[in-house]
Amino acid sequence: MSRGRYGEYGGQYISETLMNELLYLEEQYNHYMNDPDFVEELNTLLKEYAGRPSLLYYAKRMTEDLGGAKIYLKREDLNHTGAHKINNVLGQVLLAKKMGKTRVIAETGAGQHGVATATAAALLDMECEVFMGEVDTKRQALNVYRMELLGAKVHSVKSGTQTLKDAVNDAFRDWIARVHDTNYVIGSTMGPHPFPMIVRDFQAVISAEAKEQFLEKEGKLPDAVIACVGGGSNAMGAFYNFIEDEDVKLIGCEAGGKGIDTPYNAAALTNGKIGIFHGMKSIFNQGDYGQIAPVYSVSAGLDYPGVGPEHAYLRDTGRAEYVPITDEEAVVAFEYLSKMEGIIPAIESAHAVAHAMKIAPEMDKDETIMICLSGRGDKDVRSIAEYRGVDLNE
């Protein structure tokens, strides 16, 4: 069996043309992560450029309103570019640069990962091209222009469902033609090994910081950590350093869309089956003959028909629990956090907020919850207005 396994999940199901490049990437990754200069350079970028450590904020009004567990927000929304994506991207683009590459490519759904990659590419003087489904370029037009401002070229992907999975397909298609000068900066804990490991390691800074911050503020670890799950990178980052602490409940929130008993959702761990796609064995939403299913979510960032392999493993072993959150619940949470704390969350992150709203009231007052607030919601204001039937152009 190949490397990069999480139980039966993971692996390297990819074209032979890319295999040597993946092996090289893994070797270079291991080399640089053991190089104190590289680690120092990356940590400096995270601190001076991205604004880490991110705050662990006690949401007092929300806690009092819900009347149960104390709620803390891990404020990834305060990072430069407004989401957790920058943690991973700074690591991967810096690595690409050290590897002698001159060009990076990325897929993007909501546009957050594309913006983060374009940002890091500008900073580190690399050529950057981003693949984005045509449907998503319309949902997130502002982010398209943002990427262009940052000097990136955005390809509107017209194949398939014209969303995130198709953007991933086209990014791989581009990479296979240009392995010599290009690194694929993948946006989540997915794809063939070593990507799920690399992205998880770069995102693990979230839980590394949170653990210290909790000990400092509460003198103990949180009772539950809640994060939204698209491909699974912010969740993996928020979970990773708590996996060994078995009393900390880990809860991932998937896109329940219009309901898990309708075809309009993206809840792979709830509705999907085991399969092999995008380089990995994992859980995917798929039809009768193993055709990858079209999925749906109000949130472009969660609109992916699968999940990273380590999450599939954490589910099977019972270490983490995964729940679907509907569009409506997420939108209510989006509005709730805005009014209650003056923080507009990304609609993706609002899925995690929604679950905290469900479980906090049932928990004791001396218990604590950490919500990974993976991003800020400015990008979503227009689509939430639309969802609520408000015409902003009137």
Partner 1 sequence: MSKISSAFENGTAFIGFLTAGDPTIDKTVEYILAMEEVGCDLVEIGIPFSDPMAEGVVIQDANVRALKHNTTTDDVFDIVARVREKTDIPLVFLTYINPVFFYGYERFFKRCAELGIDGIISPDLPYEEKGEIKDIALSNGVDVISLIAPTSKQRIQKIASDATGFIYVVSSLGVTGMRSEIKTDLNAILSDIREVTDLPLAVGFGINTPEQATEIGKIADGVIVGSAIVKIIEQYGEDAAEPLKEYVSSMKKASNE
Ligand X SMILES: Cc1ncc(COP(=O)(O)O)c(C=O)c1O
Count of residues touching partner 1 (by CB under 8 A): 39
What contacts 27, CB < 8 A, 6 or more positions away?
Answer: none
Of these, 229, 248, 292, 384, which contacts ligand X (CB under 6 A)?
229
The CB density around residue 24, as the number of other CB atoms within 10 Å, is 12
Q: Rule CB under 8 A: is residue 19 a binding residue for partner 1?
A: yes
Check whether the bond before 53 is cis (ω within 30° of 0): yes
> In this chain, which stretch among 21-29, 107-115, 117-125, 176-184 interacts with ligand X, using CB under 6 A?
107-115
**CB nearer ligand X, residue 201 or residue 348:** 348
Distance CA 358, CA 383 (A): 24
Distance CA 284, CA 305 (A): 6
Helices (H), the chain: 16-33, 36-44, 60-66, 85-98, 112-123, 134-139, 141-149, 164-177, 195-203, 205-218, 233-239, 268-271, 309-316, 327-341, 347-359, 381-387
**Token pair belonging to 352:** 């995690």
Q: Rule CB under 6 A: is residue 133 a binding residue for ligand X?
A: no
Q: Rule CB under 6 A: is residue 113 a binding residue for ligand X?
A: yes
Which of ligand X, partner 1, none binds 83 (CB below 5-8 Å, type-dependent)?
ligand X
H or E element at residue 284: strand 279-284
**For this structure, is 374 an active site residue?**
yes
Distance CA 238, CA 309 (A): 16
Q: Rule CB under 6 A: is residue 188 a binding residue for ligand X?
A: yes
What contacts 174, CB < 8 A, 6 or more positions away?
Answer: 105, 129, 131, 182
User: Which of 26, 76, 107, 329 is an active site residue?
Assistant: 107
**For this structure, is 273 an active site residue?**
no
User: Which of 54, 188, 233, 374 is an active site residue?
Assistant: 374
Distance CA 201, CA 4 (A): 13
**For this structure, is 207 an active site residue?**
no
DSSP 77: G
Q: Are 266 and 303 spatial neighbours (Cβ–Cβ below 8 Å)?
A: yes
**CB nearer ligand X, residue 80 or residue 98:** 80
Of these, 99, 123, 176, 260, which contacts partner 1 (CB under 8 A)?
176
**CB nearer partner 1, residue 149 or residue 274:** 274
Q: Rule CB under 8 A: is residue 317 a binding residue for partner 1?
A: no
**What's the min distance (Å) between Cβ of 295 and partner 1?**
12
Per-residue string for binding with partner 1, 178-217, x by CB under 8 A? xx--------------------------------------
Burial class (CB in 10 A: 0-12, 13-18, 19+), 251: buried
> In this chain, which stretch among 8-16, 203-211, 248-256, 259-267 interacts with partner 1, using CB under 8 A?
8-16
The CB density around residue 130, as the number of other CB atoms within 10 Å, is 29
Q: Are 188 and 230 spatial neighbours (Cβ–Cβ below 8 Å)?
A: yes
Strand partners, 284: 273, 306
Which of ligand X, partner 1, none binds 383 (CB below 5-8 Å, type-dependent)?
none
- In the region spanning residues 21 to 50, those forming contacts with partner 1, defined by CB under 8 A, are 21
Q: Rule CB under 8 A: is residue 7 a binding residue for partner 1?
A: no
> In this chain, which stretch among 72-80, 164-172, 348-356, 376-384 interacts with partner 1, using CB under 8 A?
164-172
User: Which of 54, 70, 76, 85 is an active site residue?
Assistant: 85
- In the region spanning residues 248 to 307, those forming contacts with ligand X, defined by CB under 6 A, are 301-302
Q: Rule CB under 6 A: is residue 234 a binding residue for ligand X?
A: yes
What contacts 206, CB < 8 A, 6 or more positions away?
Answer: 54, 74, 76, 84, 87, 234, 237, 238, 240, 372
Q: Rule CB under 8 A: is residue 278 a binding residue for partner 1?
A: yes
Q: Rule CB under 8 A: is residue 169 a binding residue for partner 1?
A: yes
**Token pair belonging to 8:** 């039966």
Of these, 133, 194, 222, 232, which contacts ligand X (CB under 6 A)?
232
Which amino acids are annotated catalytic?
85, 107, 374
Can you give the binding site for ligand X, defined by CB under 6 A?
83, 109-110, 112-113, 188, 228-235, 301-302, 346, 348-349, 374-375
Can you give the binding site for partner 1, defined by CB under 8 A?
1-3, 11-21, 159-160, 165-166, 169, 172-173, 176-179, 273-279, 284, 286, 288-292
